Amino acid sequence: MLLIDPHKEYPKETVSQAIIRFQDCDPLQHLNNAKYFDYFFNAREDQVPKLYGLRPLDIFQQFHAAWVVYNHHIAYVRSAMVGEWVTIYSRLIHYNEDTAVIEYVMTCEEDITFKTLLWTTLKYIDVKTGKRQPHHQPVMQYLQAIHYQAFDFNSTSFEARIKQISAAYKEKKQQKNHHNLL
């Protein structure tokens, strides 16, 4: 059941690590493009119940509603390779009356090399009619509680976000290299 404690500060992002499996890679040992989605969605599905006490089935059962994928924007910046450990972040970067946008970021295990960015737009639907509907009030409270606001989604394009994240990781790598020289 969806219950948000108004006095609790909820984490704004999920973090997981995963190993890139051989069966998910192409002959060049790169993670297959379609498999990135599995890694991203599985990471979020593993973390959301732990952090927020919410399972996707809860929304379905309590409100007879669900989020369905409307579209994806993905950028493959650096390949994930077979046998490599990666870190996966996910966060709710935008929501309104019937829409939610989740941002996924994949990095190397050490979190210094940016690999992939995915924005997934979800629409909230009534499962009986299959039609879009406004978020129920408890769902809006949940979205407000977990909303990641570190950048302005409405004035940031997907391409600009790639550049923001790339620049942040470039700086992070330079700082690590500088620290290693000391």
Q: pLDDT per residue over 33-45, tens digit each?
A: 999 999 999 999 9
7 band by pLDDT with thresholds 50, 70 and 90: confident
- The rounded distance, in Å, linking the Cα atoms of 2 and 63 is 10
Of 164, 79, 80, 84, the closest CA to residue 119 belongs to: 164
Separation of alpha carbons 80 and 90, rounded Å: 17
Task: For tokens 């192409």, name the residue.
Answer: 26
Are the C-beta atoms of 140 and 72 separated by less than 8 Å? no
* pLDDT bracket for residue 179 (50, 70, 90): low
* Per-residue model confidence as pLDDT tens digits over 72-118: 999 999 999 999 999 999 999 999 999 999 999 999 999 999 999 99
Closest CA to 46 of 81, 20, 72, 18: 18
Contact 104, 89 (CB under 8 A): yes
Strands (E), the chain: 14-19, 65-76, 85-95, 99-108, 114-126
pLDDT for position 100: 98
Q: Report how far residue 177's alpha carbon sits from residue 137's, in angstroms, rounded to the nearest whole number.
A: 48
* Per-residue pLDDT at 4: 81
Give residue 55's pLDDT band: very low, low, confident or very high (50, 70, 90): confident
CA distance 32 to 108: 16
CATH of 14-181 given 3.10.129.10, 3.30.300.130, 3.40.50.720, 3.90.1150.10: 3.10.129.10
Give the mean pLDDT of the chain.
Answer: 94
The predicted pLDDT at position 92 comes to 98
Each as own residue / partner, the long-range contacts of residues 100-109 (CB below 8 Å, 24 or more positions apart, any chain) are 100/67, 100/124, 100/143, 101/153, 102/44, 103/148, 103/161, 104/40, 104/43, 104/44, 105/165, 106/36, 106/39, 106/40, 106/80, 107/169, 108/84, 109/17, 109/84, 109/85
In this predicted model, what pLDDT tens digit does every residue of 126-152 receive, in sequence order? 999 999 999 999 999 999 999 999 999
Task: Report which secondary-structure segment, H or E, holds 42.
Answer: helix 35-52
Residue 182's pLDDT band, with cuts at 50, 70 and 90, is low
pLDDT above 90 coverage of the chain, percent: 86
Distance of alpha carbon 15 from alpha carbon 40, whole angstroms: 10
